[in-house]
Amino acid sequence: MLKAALDTFWSEKVWLPPNTTWDDIAPGPEKAVVYADSNHVFFPIPLALVFITVRYLLEKHVFAPLGRSLGIKETRARKTPSYPKLEAAYQKSANRIKDIGALAKATDLSERQVERWFRLRRNQNKPSTLVKFCENSWKCTFYVCNFSFGLFVLWDKEWLWDIDQCYIGYPHQGVTNDVWWYYMVSSAFYWSLTISQFWDVRRKDFWQMFIHHIATIALLTFSWVCNLHRVGTLVLLLHDCADIFVESVKAAKYANYQKLCDSLFLALIVVWISTRVGIYPLYIIWSTSIRAPMLLPMFPAYYIFNSLLCLLLLLHVVWTWLILQIAYKTIQAGQMEGDIRSSSSEWSPPATPRPPTELLSAGSK
């Protein structure tokens, strides 16, 4: 039954152009070109674990010491006073607290004091500035390296300069070793982000980013199986370019380098808009939607790929709106405030220690 289900799912009528079989694009010594091996889609998963390990080592031994040398503090929100009944209610539902009046009576606090206790308790779980700096430094480092590697790999490839070459001769297009590594490394990184996202800094756009990672992995996986890797490499290169500035702006903000942060933010706006809402829809999406049907016979899977590319475009539009909102606030405030692609409110602990009762009573004033 499993084999029948897999055969149905991987139907050649769905995933390949007309008059093409899986055997036609299967790798083999007698083939004129080196085809992509579909079994290699599993290679990025163990490689993702390597990325997670490398990230842990870099954050602990490189980025954390660097952050401390820049004066970034590891301080977290102040611990809340001990109220077992409030803690039990928090453990049941951290975001939706019911019966605040009953909890106030049970603890001899006012309702405002109970609400403030829960607000402080939520902030207690938020990561320190140093943790966030390390995360962004790791991502920025990867994007710089991967974008540089991608540019090196694609510089002499004909489809970088003529996107029609992504479709001419398809599906009989060979895979070189450098393109293989570019695809595997990029896929492994997005696998690592998908896995680590559940313990990384949780921002308000958690699910948008999760959908983004899943859509990216699906695009990379299915495009590899169907030998559509040429378009995939262009999408990867375009995305890595803007992500460098996304992560560097955050790292500069956490390091309190305000002038550098503002300069990088200005560069981010230019690069993001020109790549994500300029080149991506007007060059990539236009090519996959208009030029591709002119150069090769369409098949069902191609519409799936194009839908995923359009889904990424929709996310780009949402994030562009958030970035422009921050840009507007920046002009008003005179410096970059907030977080790129996510407006997460952060609680800052008081500058001097205060008694537990004062911390609670401050909320009722």
**How many domains does the structure of the chain reveal?**
2
352/312 same-domain check: no
149/92 same-domain check: no
| Confidence at residue 348, expressed as pLDDT on a 0 to 100 scale | 33
351/233 same-domain check: no
1 in a domain, yes or no? no
Q: Which sign, positive or negative, has the C-alpha torsion 64, 65, 71, 73? A: positive
113/133 same-domain check: no
What is the average pLDDT across 41-49?
93
pLDDT tens digit sequence for 218-229: 888 888 988 999
What is the average pLDDT across 69-98?
69
Apex 21 CA angle, 27 and 171, nearest 5: 65
What is the average pLDDT across 173-186?
94
C-alpha dist (Å) from residue 317 to 106, 164, 287, 321: 48, 26, 19, 6
What is the average pLDDT across 256-274?
92
Is the pLDDT higher at 57 or at 319? Answer: 57
C-alpha dist (Å) from residue 195 to 129, 200, 223, 247, 351: 22, 9, 22, 19, 36
* Proportion of the chain in helix, strand, coil states, percent, rounded to 5: 70, 0, 30
Cα–Cα distance measured from residue 213 to residue 234, given in angstroms and rounded to the nearest whole number: 17
Is the pLDDT higher at 144 or at 218? Answer: 144
288 in a domain, yes or no? yes
Cα first-last separation, the chain:
67
**Polymer length of the chain:** 365
Task: Give residue 195's identity as a one-letter amino acid code.
Answer: I
10 in a domain, yes or no? no
Is the pLDDT higher at 188 or at 350? Answer: 188
| 150 contacts: CB under 8 Å, gap ≥ 6 | 182, 186, 233, 236, 237, 240
Share of the chain above pLDDT 90, in %: 41
Give the three-class secondary structure for 203. coil
152/114 same-domain check: no
| Confidence at residue 361, expressed as pLDDT on a 0 to 100 scale | 38
**Structural domain range at position 116:** 84-125+346-364
- Average pLDDT score over the chain: 82
Q: Which of 294, 310, 46, 280 is nearest to 184 (CA)?
A: 46
107 in a domain, yes or no? yes
327/356 same-domain check: no
Conformational region of residue 338, where left means phi above 0, alpha means psi within -120 to 50, and beta covers everything else: left
| Confidence at residue 53, expressed as pLDDT on a 0 to 100 scale | 95
Highest mean pLDDT among 107-111, 124-128, 193-197: 193-197
pLDDT grade for 30, boundaries at 50, 70 and 90: confident
| Confidence at residue 213, expressed as pLDDT on a 0 to 100 scale | 81
| Confidence at residue 330, expressed as pLDDT on a 0 to 100 scale | 76
Contact 229, 176 (CB under 8 A): no
78 in a domain, yes or no? no
